[in-house]
Structure 1
């Protein structure tokens, strides 16, 4: 039996009626398609079935959060760890076939952890120009008696060419001022003094410590075991896409990429093999139409964790 949830638990779930309604909205491909056929749709299918059917040179931003090389269950499906060279070959098997769908100006973000990061780097370098490796703090995680607690993940930032879009002003971080320097007249120097406190807008680095992994009291939370925060996707979409651009996620999970794309005025194409996760994505898209807020992103800037 399913354990009852606490009264304040805000985890998004599906009733049987919702599951049936959202399942009717899912898309399955049986051959090559034009961009309008898949735009802003959730494709419920094994990504390996549809890789060669996506419209050519249509994607501005690829965000891929594939299964890490870990033993992990996703509903009734499980990923079994592979030897490092086999995992790298598995990455190649889908990533190389996605390249024709990317525009020459596209950016690519590939997620992994410390075990899979080297394989991701090698696979990415064969296809793209690797620009940076983002490391973000995941405060969840079990402690270890004989090792360091694993509390970070990586995202490799790549581009198809040297002609790509990056909007640094769209992803500045609002931090509290510790040393409030002033000019000769005593006025704030590179910071603002407001009723809420003293803050400075800072350039984003490739070390992200301002994210909160979704948990039971957050309205974006689902039961997906590896759900990414909406704030994380917002940083990537705002930096590396423009309004109206097309964002592709070939391992959509419970839909965070599609939801954030909708909230930020981008188009999306999401691919996910699990029907329940697809239905959760569709429900979250309906909820996004009612409330486009992204926790931690307000007034056009990202706030440090718990700053507001």
Structure 2
């Protein structure tokens, strides 16, 4: 089968579109399905009954998992309201490695007065078998200079972890994309590139393929392309498909080089203006010299 489906985002329903993809050809499924919280994505995908939502979720999971390679992985964004049920569905089919909490850094303003404010998303990390691909070194976080200095004793010399950084924990504190953020597209639940790129680098080999069944604003495709991986995905809303096309096209544009303005030629020097001589300080000698001498007196003699 040809690979014409590679590096494409199809504007169609994922359940029907998955037939395009050969079984066992995907290294990483990374997806952010509707949370069923009633948001408007241009369709009713986020406005189902609980039973219908869970039934639909099981349907697309069973259609997508055969596309994974035997050593492939899956990351799924969820709300805490439905993550327990969906995690159970996935645990029956895969091995759960992590429950990752994304702290969205929501400001402490307003919110419910009858419960604690919800400021996180839940992410499930699942694998098919024990030899799954995982590159920890690609996503380590560097220690700051102060920490390195504190670990300067001889027992730490040559320690790899001190030089290459530490393993990201399962609590990821990354700001949500506010309206003024330069990365922000016109999508209500866009995820930050920082998070998606971490998943791609850790769980998809450099020559691998990432699948996203619910592309939204296309962040998974953007992250895959930026990280040198291939991608494939689906999105129902044609307006979001247009956004994805624009974002992917922007990656191919050459960087804008701002030219330095040409140096201005120095203006011709004008002839110096004649200026009156500055007055000098008068001294007694100079004052005396400046006074006119009296005319000589004529002498008269008697005849």
Q: Which range, TM-score by smaller chain?
A: 0.7 to 0.9
Displacement of 1:291 after TM fit?
7.4
Contact between 2:212 and 2:220, CA under 8 Å: does it hold in 1? yes
1:202 aligns with 2:166: yes
Q: TM-score, normalised to structure 2's length?
A: 0.75
**Secondary structure of the structure 1 residue equivalent to 2:248:** helix
**Secondary structure of the structure 2 residue equivalent to 1:37:** coil
Distance 1:184 1:223, change over 3 A: closer
Q: Report the more deviating stretch, 176-185 or 148-157.
A: 176-185
Which of 97, 121, 127 is residue 159 of structure 1 equivalent to?
127
What's the counterpart of residue 278 of structure 2? none
Alignment of structure 1 residues 268-307 onto 2, 5 Å = 268-290=231-253
Displacement of 1:183 after TM fit?
3.3
Contact between 2:10 and 2:17, CA under 8 Å: does it hold in 1? no
Give CA deviations for 1:167-211 in whole Å, capped at 9, x if unaligned.
1111112354666415358x99979xxxxxxx98221111111x1
Whole-angstrom distance in 2 between the partners of 1:37 and 1:246: 13
Whole-angstrom distance in 2 between the partners of 1:77 and 1:89: 15
Contact between 1:181 and 1:188, CA under 8 Å: does it hold in 2? no
What's the counterpart of residue 150 of structure 2? 181
Distance 1:135 1:223, change over 3 A: same
What's the counterpart of residue 116 of structure 2? 148
Whole-angstrom distance in 2 between the partners of 1:164 and 1:184: 36
Which of 110, 114, 119 is residue 85 of structure 2 equivalent to?
119
Which of 20, 29, 38 is residue 62 of structure 1 equivalent to?
29
Whole-angstrom distance in 2 between the partners of 1:140 and 1:46: 32
Q: Going by fraction, where is strand more abundant, 1 or 2?
A: 1
1:233 aligns with 2:196: yes
Structure 1: 5+ residue stretches without partners: 1-33, 192-198, 293-308
Give CA deviations for 1:249-292 in whole Å, capped at 9, x if unaligned.
00000100000100000000010001110111111111123479
Whole-angstrom distance in 1 between the partners of 2:210 and 2:170: 21
What's the counterpart of residue 103 of structure 1? 69
**Secondary structure of the structure 2 residue equivalent to 1:276:** helix
1:73 aligns with 2:73: no
Contact between 1:110 and 1:120, CA under 8 Å: does it hold in 2? no
Structure 2: 5+ residue stretches without partners: 256-303
Which of 207, 210, 214 is residue 247 of structure 1 equivalent to?
210
Question: RMSD between aligned alpha carbons?
Answer: 2.7
Q: Report the more deviating stretch, 267-276 or 159-168.
A: 159-168
Give CA deviations for 1:81-121 in whole Å, capped at 9, x if unaligned.
422x4432221111101122111111111110110111220
1:170 aligns with 2:138: yes
**Secondary structure of the structure 1 residue equivalent to 2:130:** coil
What's the counterpart of residue 289 of structure 2? none
Give CA deviations for 1:65-91 in whole Å, capped at 9, x if unaligned.
1000211111354521422x4432221
Alignment coverage as a number of residue pairs: 252
Contact between 1:246 and 1:267, CA under 8 Å: does it hold in 2? yes
Contact between 2:33 and 2:77, CA under 8 Å: does it hold in 1? yes
Displacement of 1:140 after TM fit?
3.3
Give CA deviations for 1:111-154 in whole Å, capped at 9, x if unaligned.
10110111220111121111111111012376222211110111
